[in-house]
Structure 1
């Protein structure tokens, strides 16, 4: 009985220690991401040297590298990329990777660097091409297409990069996607196609261009 009580106490002590370590680690990760937000290289370096995992999600589901790119924190980005443990393929709770954010920001140099470090140019769900098409540099759209990504990749609700370009991106991105074979007739789960996205953004000339293209494509299919 005495041995059983000792084992129970030992087990409880182990659980308490594990819980304490978990709370401490969670606080450290929150602090790490916070340092990336503030672009505080001193604090960030101290936490990395302490052994805090730069690939762990904080309490808000954020990743240090992805957040640093979102906040445009250059010193933090460099420190994180120089850390031998960094995994550029990791996603935050929203499913975003560092490459997706770099593409959205139109940061061509960073896109190239992340690809060299092993970032995935294409994957399930929202993709770097969706993000590049929506507001990035058309050169990034061209680069990703050259890497063989799916031009009509579908987000979870069926939205394609062409729809994003039509509603939020540049007409240069639209032309690049169409040239690569994007299908303007595709519709997402809300029944919207690229022309609808353009109209929603009051880009009426672009919307009419899509409608004209669809008419010409339909005419070519006629026997």
Structure 2
């Protein structure tokens, strides 16, 4: 991670798959990489923008799906919204439960995470709609 930053790769640059470095460290539960990227200015809410099923996933979605408990906690303690939705209108709690990530599911629940979208607040639905309606990605 440090080598990429030293070569001039910016923390909010997307790769050829639509991922940011922060998505990769969240998926791998890489706490050191996470801290370096956040210190370098990485956007902890930036969505995935590739051409696959993970479009709209935030680092929180990646961490929940992978069972990356340490990154999940760092994101939530840092103020990332627990009920952020991807383009399929699924929250991180949905992915944690669908993968059997019990520890992550409990943490998300304690932070107010919901899985049923009928219980999600309207402001989260508006944010998902904003992403669907033409958010500009590099």
TM-score bin (small chain)? 0.7 to 0.9
Q: Residues of 1 paired with 2:5 and 2:67: CA distance?
A: 22
Could you tell me which residue of structure 2 aligns to residue 151 of structure 1? 82
Correspondence for 2:129: none
Distance 1:92 1:184 in 2: 29
Aligned residues: 110
1:106 corresponds to: 29
Using the size of structure 2 for normalisation, the TM-score is 0.72
User: TM (normalized to structure 1)?
Assistant: 0.46
Pair 1:136–1:82, CA change in 2 (3 A): farther
Paired position in structure 2 for 1:80: 4
Measured in 1, the distance between the counterparts of 2:12 and 2:78 equals: 16
1:123 paired with 2:46, answer yes
RMSD: 1.7
CA shift for structure 1 position 93:
4.4
User: What is the Cα deviation at residue 186 of structure 1?
Assistant: 1.9
Deviation at 1:95, TM superposition (A): 2.7
Q: Which runs of 5+ in 2 are unaligned?
A: 48-55, 119-138
Consecutive unaligned residues in structure 1, runs of 5 or more: 1-76, 188-223
Q: CA deviation at 1:86?
A: 1.9
- Structure with the higher helix share, 1 or 2: 1
